[in-house]
Amino acid sequence: MAYSGRKDSPELPDFSLLKRLARDQLVYLLEQLPGKKDLFIEADLMSPLDRIANVSILKQHDVDKLYKVEYKPIISTSDQLCFLIRPRIKTVKWISDVVNADKAGGKFRKYKIIFTPQKFYACETVLEEQGVFGNVSMDEWGFHLLPLDDDIISLELSEFFRDNYLAGDLRWVRTAGSALHLLHSIYGPFSKVYGIGRCSKMAYESWKEQAKEEEQKPRNSEIGNVFLIDRDVDFVTPMCSQVVYEGLVDDIFRIKCGCVEFGTDVSSSDKSIKVMLNSQDKVFNEIRNEHFSNVFSFLSQKARNLQVAYDKRRGMDIKQMKTFVSEELKGLKQEHRLLSLHISASESIMKKKTKQDFQELLKTEHSLLEGFEIRECISFIEEHINRQVSMTESLRLLCLLSLTENGLLPKDYRSLKTQYLQSYGVEHLLTFANLKQSGLLVEQQQGETLTVMESKVGKLVNDKTAGKLTDAFSSLARKNNFRALSRKLNLVPKSDDEYDLRLPRDMAYVFSGAYIPLSCKIIEQVLERDGWTGLEEVTKLLNGNEFAVTGKNGANNEAQRIVVVMFLGGCTYSEISALRFLGRERGYKFIVVATAIASSSRLLEALLGNHV
């Protein structure tokens, strides 16, 4: 990609500090249970833990054996058990069972639960109800922020999305506030905080509340601006197929905690391999933000350069050869391996995408975004369903249709739902109920056209004004005004000019030039205007809850251009790429803080109703 933008972007703060902090805290907590102990780790905490500590650190602090929490009776012989878990009722119930089984078997052990990132009362209640409260000691490990890369920090809370946007449970609001608080106390003070969305507002307030408890010493700030955004402000973007390399890799292979597992087709051996994907990987770093169509030419150029570098050793004398081997060869080989890997990955992506007629799929998505030839799109989706192409993929298209069209016509809704249930099973009645509740896939209400929008705006602010029981069931489904927003913000570029993906002119390149991600566009606009002034109509269409607050301490110039964008409910790699592009164009550096990395399949799987 041509780096046409400003070159004077400021340096990013050093986030490895967050890892050290988390590790030190964990060590401290482990020491609270002196002596040898076995450690049980919740499955989805293992990868995050791996990023900040390793076995020898745990061993140094008397951890004897490590187990994964599997909800089965345990086999440990240790007389001290430590559980490192998320605050989930199911897990705590299992621990209670373990304790009760020991009691029944006359075994005498010490138990400690370390909740991360925080403890919930509901979990303590379980211990109480199961009669083991008092037998188990508890602690909190405030492991809020895991840096996945120089500019990506994750809370690794995959349940945030479902809890907040489906169940309407606010238990993670404080967690989000604490994460912000942690950033603020290490890298702040912030000079400006912007936000949009209900949860963003609450997270902001929670942070303010927490910050009140401690005074802050004046310090040189490293982060100037913060932008908070709710996932449900923009559901459209995560429902689009990703076509930027990093996003594609995530869609196809699933990046987990910054690490991807390539199957045997990519590793070209009989074992799959795990690879860390971040800026340390020089090859990856150069292609991660590229539109996929540019990746091949880039890789082949890279291969040719490598060949030239290898060729250099021809005609070298002994001494030169020695220097070459000691200084360059290792780097070249490393690059060689990376290159081989990303070429195979690209090949594999190609194979999978040609198989499912990606072109037609993208065409349909673009038509939906543009609001063009909707009937054709519907019959394409229908065909997808009829042919039993992937369950989540069909669902994704249905959601995209609903989100862009402000709901499906009752006739279409019924027909598509019936076909979906016939293809994938009637139990998906439950899935449809969830999608309806979260507002991702809804039926247009008869007579609810333009006027209703106004009455809905501002209604959801708080309970005091609403106070209707109906809201408990349905208020999470926000009115989506995509078409109007798209017009106001110019999200779909004019169709007559050609878009050169090699030289992107705006953030639309992350979707082949067809669409500028709504979330990123809002961020761009607000930063440009230094607030929401002039965006009144847009915020109205976004269901309000916008804010912009100026802090007391003005940060220096450098820090002013460092912007933390916190996505409550998850952020996709495409959005990260778009923000990186925006940063280069405008001389900002964006740091994405996400409750988790999101993708269409992750979000939809969280809402599937076909599992027990």
Partner 1 sequence: MMKSRSDEEEYWNASKFKAFTFDDEDDDLRESKSAFESLAQLPDEDERDHVEEVSWSGEPVGSISRSVRETAASGRRTEGEAAFPARVDADLAKVNSGYSLSSLFKGRRGASVATLADVSGDRSGRTVAPEIRRPKSEKEDLVGDWSPQDAVNRMRQGKPVPLERFRCLQDKLRLLDRSVDAQDGNVITAVLIFLKKSLSKEVLFGELASRPTALRHLFAYLSESGDDALLADLYRALGRVEDAAVTRSHATTKYTLLHYKEHLSITDEKKKRDFLKSCLSLQFSPEDQVQLQDQVSLLERQMLIEATDRQAELGGKAEIFQKFPRRASILHMPLVTTLYYCCFYHYGQPEVRSARPRSSRVRGKVPTCRSCAGPQGSFSSPQNLRNSFKISEKQFFVTALSARAKQKSWRDVDALFAGRSWLGFTRKKSPLAFQVVVDILHRNSAPVHVLQEYVGLVDDADARMALAHKHKCHDLVINTYRDFKDRRLLLGYRGKVEAGSAAERKIDELLDGSQIRWKN
Per CB under 8 A, the segment of 87-95, 318-326, 541-549, 568-576 that binds partner 1 is: 87-95
Q: Which of 34, 263, 331, 534 binds partner 1 (CB under 8 A)?
A: 34
Tokens of 221: 């700030």
Q: Report the residue number, 74 or 523, with the smaller CB distance to partner 1.
A: 74
Distance in angstroms (rounded) separating the CA atoms of residues 602 and 605: 5
Q: Report the residue number, 382 or 558, with the smaller CB distance to partner 1.
A: 382
Site for partner 1 in 220-239 (CB under 8 A): none
CA dihedral 209, 215, 219, 225 (to 10 degrees): 10
Distance in angstroms (rounded) separating the CA atoms of residues 554 and 225: 10
Contact, 91 vs 42, CB < 8 A?
A: yes
Site for partner 1 in 352-391 (CB under 8 A): 353-354, 357-359, 363, 366-367, 382-383, 386-388
Round the CA-based radius of gyration of the chain to a whole number and report it. Answer: 26
Distance in angstroms (rounded) separating the CA atoms of residues 544 and 539: 5
Site map (CB under 8 A) of partner 1, residues 106-125, x = contact: ------------xxxxx-xx
Site for partner 1 in 280-299 (CB under 8 A): 291-293, 296-297, 299
Site map (CB under 8 A) of partner 1, residues 301-320, x = contact: --xx-xx--x----------
Q: Cβ of residue 584: shortest distance to partner 1, in angstroms?
A: 21
Q: Report the residue number, 387 or 552, with the smaller CB distance to partner 1.
A: 387
Q: Does 324 bind partner 1 (CB under 8 A)?
A: no
Contact, 519 vs 506, CB < 8 A?
A: no
Q: Does 346 bind partner 1 (CB under 8 A)?
A: yes
Site for partner 1 in 511-570 (CB under 8 A): 512-514
Site for partner 1 in 577-596 (CB under 8 A): none
Tokens of 439: 């507002």
Q: Cβ of residue 534: shortest distance to partner 1, in angstroms?
A: 28
Site map (CB under 8 A) of partner 1, residues 11-30, x = contact: ------x--xx-xxx-xx--
Q: Report the residue number, 116 or 225, with the smaller CB distance to partner 1.
A: 116
Residue that has been written with the tokens 């700030």 in this structure: 221
Q: Which residues sit opposite 597 in a β-bridge?
A: 571
Q: Which of 4, 11, 60, 556 binds partner 1 (CB under 8 A)?
A: 60
Q: Cβ of residue 463: shortest distance to partner 1, in angstroms?
A: 5
Q: Does 167 bind partner 1 (CB under 8 A)?
A: yes
Site for partner 1 in 404-443 (CB under 8 A): 414, 417-419, 421-427, 429-430, 433
The residues, ordered by sequence, that sit 6+ positions from 327 with a Cβ below 8 Å of its Cβ are none
Q: Report the residue number, 66 or 548, with the smaller CB distance to partner 1.
A: 66
Q: DSSP E strands: which ranges in 150-191?
A: 152-154
Q: Does 215 bind partner 1 (CB under 8 A)?
A: no
Q: Cβ of residue 270: shortest distance to partner 1, in angstroms?
A: 14
- Which amino acid is residue 602, in one-letter code? R
Distance in angstroms (rounded) separating the CA atoms of residues 187 and 558: 13
Q: Which of 98, 146, 152, 339 binds partner 1 (CB under 8 A)?
A: 339
Site map (CB under 8 A) of partner 1, residues 62-81, x = contact: x-xxxxx------x-x----
Tokens of 300: 């082949």
Q: Report the residue number, 257 or 603, with the smaller CB distance to partner 1.
A: 257
Q: Does 53 bind partner 1 (CB under 8 A)?
A: yes
Exposed e or buried b per residue across 107-121, where buried means at least 16 C-beta atoms within 10 angstroms of its C-beta: eebbbbbbbbbbbee
Peptide bond before residue 189 is cis, with ω within 30 degrees of 0? yes
Q: Cβ of residue 587: shortest distance to partner 1, in angstroms?
A: 28
DSSP label of 425: -
Q: Does 328 bind partner 1 (CB under 8 A)?
A: no
Q: Report the residue number, 208 or 586, with the smaller CB distance to partner 1.
A: 208
> The sheet that has 80-85: what strands, in order across it?
63-68, 37-41, 80-85, 110-115, 136-140
Site for partner 1 in 445-504 (CB under 8 A): 463, 466-475, 493-502
* Closest listed residue to residue 156, CA positions, set 179, 136, 137: 179
Q: Cβ of residue 398: shortest distance to partner 1, in angstroms?
A: 16
Q: Cβ of residue 369: shortest distance to partner 1, in angstroms?
A: 10
Q: How far is CA 119 from CA 85, 94, 124, 609, in A?
A: 10, 16, 8, 27
Exposed e or buried b per residue across 527-551, where buried means at least 16 C-beta atoms within 10 angstroms of its C-beta: beeebbeebeebbbbbbbbbbbeeb
Q: Does 88 bind partner 1 (CB under 8 A)?
A: yes
Q: Cβ of residue 321: shortest distance to partner 1, in angstroms?
A: 14
Contact, 441 vs 432, CB < 8 A?
A: yes
Q: Cβ of residue 262: shortest distance to partner 1, in angstroms?
A: 10
CA atoms within 13 A on the CB side of 281: 21
